[in-house]
């Protein structure tokens, strides 16, 4: 039965280009999952966009001599182009600075307010005396009042690990310009997280055995210490607070994390409007049979397994104070929070400032998108922190993509094209032929079960086991040595081409571009697996790119018999063999 699947992908922050660590956490895993779900016939809605508010954008804009909006415009475009080039099949990739997003965020705030889950509170906030702007906690540095460490930040001390408030720091200074902040009374709205403790605990307990254990454990631990959390800031760059006495204050805005996490909902609503059926989003948000999967790096678990569910529960009127659903109606909670661990780079943390980084754009200028997708699928930070090394990238590309998979495709198609000019008919099959065909068909449910549970390493390895066996089958059968039995050669190549076709299907979610090429090489016409496109749109006179696409290709998660007689041309190159010297070249580029 066809199911509605929401793939909610973490929103990349638009203060600079994104690197391969970012896309290994949220990007490639969510796309593999979505492509698989479409292939089994589910109705997928995959949404995200750039996260464009908050102080770090303002700080970076000041540095580059731009307005916050100009900076957001610049990196929204860079990020959208990079994610499209990586083949990520968003139904809509938008941004948080649209009128629609503002309206949906304000609606969620109003619903929470009406149900009594947000309340105002007077706190002490740091401001920069020279600009009058609020200094966020992490932009204040000073001496730790607990351990005496010099470089403690306003939110915590990295030396002793204690959580801090900026006002506790001894000799606090602004990290932006070194001046001493002043502390003033300021009023902010707080989200009453403790009012959701009980219902969140019940909800999380129901996910035992379903979620990745590391994610569930982390989320359950958070419940032990739920405190009210500020959802507004003193800042002029963000979504205004939709209440009388607040909305006209130029320096009060909703906190960036509050608006960004609502993006999944606002992007779904925007997608529905663009699709011509403004109510269509409800199929993914108000449907007991729909499932919502949220993809992110582990630093975002708190927002997706605790705060976003709390916002939804509050909007629905399902916390300790009860209430009634807001104007949009009650909204579904996440079915699963699929978090990745961290990727490091040659043993070090990614750092743009120290140049321990490779940006997606630079990577794709030198290497194929499928090569990066493959690496992330088979060697990414799925269950534990994982190190990216250029030598492993080289070895996997040359050994697995080129030598194992590319070679199987190449020699099967080129032998068949050269000897018969078409897909040959099989004659009598031997036990070895039948075993090979059976092995390949049996991989569909096995690989599918892994992909459906976001176990991409297992899925990739299972698919490559078929490829390795097919290479062994060809090496054992040695069709190139058979001179006097063309019928036998036909049978062997028929089996080999059938396995190539099966493996192409098995690998389509991971390697969509090369699978599309193989579809054509085997005589297929039309779109096999749809690829994303950039479309230029405009709002209030501002042009900007969105990612969207038509993903209703022919790709189905099933074995399809190849058709004898379909003409075959000599194969074209699928993957690029890399020169080992790229390892030293890339290492030299690192800071
Ligand atoms: Zn300390």
3-state DSSP of 173-196: EECCCCCCCEEEEEEEEEECHHHH
pLDDT of 351 reads: 85
Q: In this predicted model, which residue has the larger pLDDT, 134 or 530?
A: 530
Q: pLDDT for 508-530, tens place per residue?
A: 999 999 999 999 999 999 999 99
Token pair for 22: 């970012």
Q: If DSSP codes are grouped into helix, strand and coil, which group holds residue 454?
A: coil
Q: Which long-range contacts (CB under 8 A, 24 or more apart) does 539-543 make?
A: 539/98, 539/99, 540/99, 542/73
Query: What separation in Å is there between the alpha carbon of 144 and the centre of ligand 1?
Result: 5
Amino acid 303: pLDDT: 92
Query: pLDDT-based confidence at 196, cuts 50/70/90?
Result: very high
Give the DSSP letter of residue 304. I
Residue range 33-42: mean pLDDT, rounded: 98
What's residue 164's pLDDT?
78
Of the pLDDT bands very low, low, confident and very high (cuts 50, 70, 90), residue 532 is: very high
When pLDDT is cut at 50, 70 and 90, the band that residue 299 belongs to is confident
Mean pLDDT of the chain: 95
Query: Ligand 1: distance of its center to the CA of 436 in Å?
Result: 62
d(CA 420, CA 412): 12
**CA–centroid distance, residue 180 to ligand 1 (Å):** 20
The model's confidence at residue 124, banded by pLDDT at 50, 70 and 90, is confident
Average pLDDT over residues 289-313: 95
Distance from the alpha carbon of residue 162 to the mean position of ligand 1, in angstroms:
6
Please report where in the chains the tokens 């001493």 appear, as a residue: 180
CB distance 575 to 405 below 8 Å: yes
Query: What average pLDDT does the segment 410-425 reach?
Result: 97
- Rounded to whole angstroms, the Cα distance separating 216 from 204 reads 7
CB neighbour burial string for 113-130, b if at least 16 within 10 angstroms, e if fewer: bbbbbbeeeeeebbbbee
Question: Is 176 a residue whose pLDDT tops 90?
Answer: no
Burial of 499 (0-12, 13-18, 19+ CB in 10 A): buried
For residue 154, the CA-to-ligand 1 centroid distance in Å is 11
pLDDT above 70: percentage of residues in the chain: 100
Q: Both tokens of residue 104? A: 């949906």
- Model's pTM, two decimal places? 0.94
Of 81-90, 184-193, 368-377, the poorest mean pLDDT is in: 184-193
Residue 329 is inside which H or E element, if any? none
CA angle 348, 353, 357 (to 5 degrees): 45
Query: What is the CA(163)–ligand 1 centre distance, in A?
Result: 9
145 CA → ligand 1 middle, Å: 7
Going from the Cα of 181 to the center of ligand 1, the distance in angstroms, rounded, reads 20
Please tell me the distance between residue 341's alpha carbon and the centre of ligand 1 in angstroms: 26
Task: Decide if pLDDT at 236 tops 90.
Answer: no
Confidence of residue 162 (pLDDT cuts 50, 70, 90): confident
- Mean pLDDT across 382-409: 96
Max mean pLDDT range (219-223, 224-228, 500-504)? 500-504
CB 23: neighbour CB atoms within 10 A? 26
Q: How far is the CA of 149 from the centre of ligand 1 (A)?
A: 5
What pLDDT does 58 receive?
84
Average pLDDT over residues 4-20: 96
Query: Residue 134's CB: how many other CB atoms inside 10 A?
Result: 23
**Mean pLDDT calculated for residue range 375-395:** 95
Residue 126 CA to ligand 1 center (angstroms) comes to 20
Q: What is the pLDDT of residue 250?
A: 80
Element (H, E) at 339: strand 336-340
| Confidence (pLDDT) at 235 | 79
Q: Binding-site residues for Zn(2+), please?
A: 144, 147, 157, 160
pLDDT at 573: 93
Please give the pLDDT value at position 123.
86
CB 59 within 8 A of CB 139: yes
Centre of ligand 1 to C-alpha 159, Å, is 5
The pLDDT of residue 443 is 98
Kindly indicate the confidence band of residue 21, based on its pLDDT and cuts at 50, 70 and 90: very high
* Residues 179-191 pLDDT 10s: 999 999 989 999 9
What is the 13 CA–ligand 1 centroid distance (Å)? 29
* Ligand 1: centre distance to CA 148 (Å): 6
Q: Looking at 25-34, 161-170, 267-276, 511-520, which range is the least confident one?
A: 161-170
Which parts are annotated binding residues for ATP? 352
Reported as a single tens digit per residue, the pLDDT across 49-58 is 999 998 788 8
Look at residue 179 in the predicted model and tell me its pLDDT: 95
Residue numbering of the annotated binding site: 144, 147, 157, 160, 352
Residue 153 CA to ligand 1 centre (angstroms): 9
Distance, CA 362 to ligand 1 centroid (Å)? 39
Tell me whether strands 533-539 and 542-548 are parallel, antiparallel or unpaired. antiparallel
Quick check: 161 pLDDT over 80? no
Percent of the chain having pLDDT more than 90? 86
- The Cα–Cα gap between 458 and 477 comes to 29
Does pLDDT of 347 surpass 90? yes
Strand partners, 525: none
Q: How confident is the model at residue 591, as a pLDDT? A: 81
Average pLDDT of the segment spanning 368-381 = 97
């Amino acid at each position: 039965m066809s199911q509605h699947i929401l793939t909610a992908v973490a929103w990349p922050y638009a203060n600079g280009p994104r690197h391969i660590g970012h896309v290994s956490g949220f990007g490639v895993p969510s796309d593999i999952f979505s492509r698989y779900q479409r292939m089994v016939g589910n109705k997928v809605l995959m949404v995200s966009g750039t996260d464009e508010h908050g102080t770090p954008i303002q700080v970076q804009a000041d540095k580059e001599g731009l307005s916050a909006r100009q900076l957001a415009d610049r990196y929204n475009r860079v990020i959208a182009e990079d994610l499209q080039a990586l083949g990520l099949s968003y139904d809509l990739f938008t941004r948080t600075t649209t009128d629609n997003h503002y309206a949906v965020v304000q609606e969620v705030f109003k619903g929470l307010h009406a149900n009594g889950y947000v309340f105002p509170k007077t706190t002490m906030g740091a401001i920069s005396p020279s600009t009058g702007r609020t200094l966020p906690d992490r932009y204040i540095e000073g001496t730790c009042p607990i351990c005496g460490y010099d470089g403690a930040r306003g939110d915590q001390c990295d030396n002793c690990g204690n959580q801090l408030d900026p006002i506790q720091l001894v000799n606090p200074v602004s990290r932006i310009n070194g001046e001493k902040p002043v502390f003033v009374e300021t009023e902010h709205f707080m989200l009453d997280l403790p009012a959701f403790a009980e219902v969140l605990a019940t909800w999380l307990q129901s996910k035992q055995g379903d979620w990745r254990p590391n994610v569930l454990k982390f989320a359950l631990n958070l419940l032990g210490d739920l405190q009210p959390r500020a959802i507004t800031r003193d800042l002029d760059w963000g979504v205004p607070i939709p209440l009388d006495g607040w909305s006209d204050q130029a320096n009060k805005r909703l906190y960036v994390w509050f608006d960004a996490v609502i993006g999944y909902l606002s992007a779904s609503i925007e997608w529905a409007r663009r699709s011509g059926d403004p109510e269509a989003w409800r199929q993914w948000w108000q449907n007991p049979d729909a499932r919502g999967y949220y993809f992110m790096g582990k630093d975002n678990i708190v927002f997706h397994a605790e705060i976003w569910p709390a916002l939804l529960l509050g909007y629905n009127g399902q916390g300790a104070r009860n209430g009634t659903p807001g104007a949009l109606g009650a909204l579904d909670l996440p079915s699963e929070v699929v978090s990745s661990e961290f990727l490091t780079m040659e043993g070090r943390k990614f750092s743009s400032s120290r140049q321990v980084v490779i940006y997606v754009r630079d990577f794709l200028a030198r290497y194929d998108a499928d090569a990066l997708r493959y690496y992330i699928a088979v060697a990414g930070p799925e269950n534990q922190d994982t190190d990216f090394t250029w030598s492993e990238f080289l070895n996997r590309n040359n050994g697995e993509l080129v030598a194992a998979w590319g070679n199987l495709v190449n020699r099967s198609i080129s032998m068949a094209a050269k000897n018969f000019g078409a897909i040959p008919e099989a004659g009598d099959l031997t036990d070895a032929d039948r075993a090979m065909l059976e092995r390949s068909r049996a991989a569909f449910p096995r690989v599918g079960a892994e992909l459906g549970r976001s176990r991409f390493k297992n899925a990739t390895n299972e698919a490559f086991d078929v490829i390795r066996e097919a290479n062994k089958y060809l090496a054992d059968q040695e069709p190139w040595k058979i001179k006097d039995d063309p019928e036998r050669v036909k049978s062997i190549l028929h089996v080999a081409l059938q396995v190539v076709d099966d493996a192409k299907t098995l690998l389509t979610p991971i390697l969509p571009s090369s699978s599309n090429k193989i579809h054509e090489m085997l005589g297929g016409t039309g779109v096999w697996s749809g690829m994303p496109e950039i479309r230029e749109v405009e709002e209030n006179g501002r042009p900007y790119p969105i990612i969207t696409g038509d993903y209703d290709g022919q790709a189905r998660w099933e074995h399809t018999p190849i058709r004898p007689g379909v003409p075959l041309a000599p194969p074209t190159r699928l993957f690029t063999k890399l020169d080992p010297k790229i390892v030293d070249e890339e290492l030299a580029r690192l800071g």
